[in-house]
Structure 1
């Protein structure tokens, strides 16, 4: 059986666009073909999770049934009651499959890895979001097929961006007029071309041409600076990896957004010039935005509200600091149960806490810290290098460097 990974080859794009044409023509003429779009999604799920990846396909089927039952059950319950303990139990139950997959590498039997499939993290974010918004009352009702359509919207199923149900529902249930759809087609094509430049040109240069050579040179200097391995080669590796990480992931996101636009769905952007951020908080408003905003809305804000309501910590500053630590620690564990992912999360938590301290100091001592183009450029420089250092930690290369 044919097996195609999302956005990985010219063949994939040819098949993707070719099979999308009927839906695109229908949208141009003011009609949506929900049955065809569902069959199209099913077909691409088969070629993605079929063949040698059949076990992932089975895991996906089981996962979708499991999450649909949780959401349907909680919706039924929420219309009758609203106990916090039940809500927390449902959220924990929803994330359990993902937790199992993340723990699989550290479990001797590795049997938990059978739960995994491409995109489980992003589907889990959307499933948990639905449960939380049912709790809040911002989602009143959701039919099972609407929930499945939301989770399995194919352009974003493997690696996001992470959409919100109400925003997605507003797009998928209406048909843009011809002028709007022509604009969406134009925007989608631009996204695809930018994605090709990012992922297959710049990503290739930084990731395939340069990164292995820089890694080899850095490893050859592992005894530099008193055995720490800190060398010019390592610094070059840090910057190169940061560029590769951005262009590879941003390119993928542009593909997903572009194809979404072809289907009349304005999937939210994931990146907005993150390397010109003025501080670390501004960076997280620009980098992997759908993930960052998800953590902000569904973890940081809720942890903050809980601590204030229960009066667990005194003072708004301490509450926000503790919430940042919890927020980014969870983000670190989400990436994986290894020291460098966890340190990466804590690194960003500490960076944001220090940034907030600095902003409070500036507010109290405006006369000491001038605000002009030079201080702006300096803040961008500091933020850029801080972020690149965090990506060096995230890469796991330091683990390789220090272990050998």
Structure 2
């Protein structure tokens, strides 16, 4: 969507048109009416115009599961598994007929609804429909949580001020520069020339750095355009990147890189695993082991949810393994004042930063599928 000039024309025209109509009607149009109409026409009329059947079936399927869970005919864990089932089958290439644009993040939002919505929100058909098919974030996030969505659309009416419009334009323009200038330059002048060379250490270093910067500018640019577009309609979409080059360690890196998905996986994967392991006597006496299992599974999902192709599995395992090593170092340091003092030395801190970024770059290069691994 964000590579299409007509999409931006429709986006700006829609926000201005709705604002004008709202003022003519005395500010009586609600957020619910806005997003129901916008999701219907912008997504199903523009994004899915050539494949409308699968999105309709997917919505019906997910809404049915949510309804059955509300009626307590399905337990929460059963409803979550059933909601994830189409995505799992597509990622395993067992049923490609269910594949559609934005399936991953739409499924994640459906799971977020099952886990975190209140009873009073559960039967609002239009809220649920609009949340699943919100056009700004349908393809690749950011991961917009149900609670934030309900809070945003619970405002009494819709108003677009000049200040908000200019802030939105600024963030969209910033995203355009990131995605269509920096990312494109890296792709055209480095990646396209080095990706076909015989594999050597130099190629690994250059491609790891180049792809990491490319992915950052491309994805951060997309995220900024999505966040800016959401602001045009009064939505507070979460930040997705916060200068990952400044990361001190692997834990800090995932607090800065793809933040919204990292936080969602922490809540949906890490916390349930850790809390359930703590019910077992062995893990109550070995909390760091429970932490490491939860950390590895969470970061493994960061790579492997894209599919079980070797590049995703290996990169996910690297994400998890590196983070577990860092957690073990912290655990050992807590028990050794001498080690704590040693880790605080400027040279060691700098080395930690370099190793963090180097390991992230190698992992992301493997994730890209362009590496020989």
Shift of 1:372: 5.6
What is residue 21 of structure 1 aligned with on the other side?
A: 16
Determine the C-alpha separation between the residues in 2 that align with 1:370 and 1:346: 25
Match of 1:119 in 2: 102
Q: Name the structure 2 match of 1:192.
A: 172
Per-residue CA shift, 1:235-267, capped at 9, x if unaligned? 111110111111111111111110100000111
Q: What's the CA shift string for 1:94-129, capped at 9, x where partnerless?
A: 10010111011xx4xxxx111011111001111111
CA distance in 1: counterparts of 2:367 and 2:306, whole angstroms: 9
User: In the alignment, what sits opposite 2:46?
Assistant: 47
Determine the C-alpha separation between the residues in 2 that align with 1:310 and 1:184: 51
Partner of 2:239: 269
Q: Structure 1 residues 326 and 102, CA, compared in 2 at 3 Å: closer, same or farther? A: same
Residue 309 of structure 1: SS of its match in structure 2? coil
Among 141, 144, 151, the alignment partner of 1:163 is 144
Aligned match of 2:111: 128
Q: Which stretches in structure 1 are left out of the alignment for 5+ residues?
A: 1-5, 79-84, 222-228
- Residue in 2 aligned with 1:239? 209
Answer whether contact 1:27 1:181 (CA < 8 A) is retained: no
Contact 2:179 2:222 (8 Å CA) reproduced: yes
Residue number among 177, 180, 186 corresponding to 1:206 in the alignment:
186
Measure the CA separation in 2 of the matches of 1:297 and 1:27: 38
- Structure 1 residue 202, shift from structure 2 partner: 0.3
Structure 1 residue 14: Cα displacement: 1.9
Partner residue of 2:76 out of 66, 70, 87: 87
Aligned pair in 2 of structure 1 residues 141, 177: CA closer, same or farther (>3 Å)? Answer: closer
What is the CA deviation profile of residues 163-203 of structure 1, one whole-angstrom value per residue up to 9, with x for unaligned ones?
1112111111215796x944433332221011011000001
> In structure 2, which of residues 351, 359, 364 is the aligned counterpart of residue 386 of structure 1?
359
User: TM-score, structure 2 length as denominator?
Assistant: 0.90
Tell me the distance in 1 between the aligned counterparts of 2:102 and 2:85: 15
Q: How does 1:291-302 map to 2 (within 5 A)?
A: 291-302=261-272
The Cα shift of 1:287 comes to 0.8
Change (3 A) 1:370 1:64: closer
CA RMSD of aligned residues (A): 2.3
Unpaired segments ≥5 residues, structure 2: none
Greater CA deviation, 190-199 or 325-334?
325-334
Distance 1:240 1:183, change over 3 A: same
Determine helix, strand or coil for the equivalent of 1:272: coil
Q: Report the counterpart of residue 89 of structure 2 in structure 1.
A: 100
Structure 2 residue aligned with 1:145: 126
Partner residue in 1 for 2:64: 69
Provide closer, same or farther for how the CA distance between residues 375 and 231 of structure 1 changes in structure 2, counting only shifts above 3 A: closer
CA distance in 2, matches of 1:92, 1:69: 14
| Equivalent pair of 2:87/2:103 in contact (CA under 8 Å) | yes
User: How far apart, CA to CA, are the structure 1 residues paired with 2:138 and 2:264?
Assistant: 16
Aligned partners of 1:119 and 1:159 also within 8 Å: yes
Task: State the alpha-carbon separation in 1 of the partners of residues 170 and 349 from structure 2.
Answer: 31
Q: For the residues of structure 1 that align with 2:63 and 2:292, how far apart are their CA atoms?
A: 36
List structure 1 segments (4+ residues) > 6 angstroms apart after TM superposition: none
For residues 46-89 of structure 1, what are the alpha-carbon distances to aligned partners after superposition, in whole Å with 9 as ceiling and x for unaligned? 221113xx2xx2111100011111111111218xxxxxx83222
**2:257 aligned counterpart, secondary structure:** coil
Cα distance in 2, alignment partners of residues 273 and 31 from structure 1: 41
Kindly indicate whether the alpha-carbon contact (under 8 Å) linking 2:116 and 2:146 is maintained by their aligned counterparts in 1.
no
Q: With the length of structure 1 as denominator, give the TM-score of the two structures.
A: 0.84
Q: 1:260 aligns with which of 212, 215, 230?
A: 230
1:361: how far off? 3.0
Displacement of 1:312 in angstroms is: 6.2
Aligned-partner SS, 1:335: coil
**Contact 1:272/1:287, CA 8 A, preserved across alignment:** yes
Q: How many residues align structurally?
A: 365
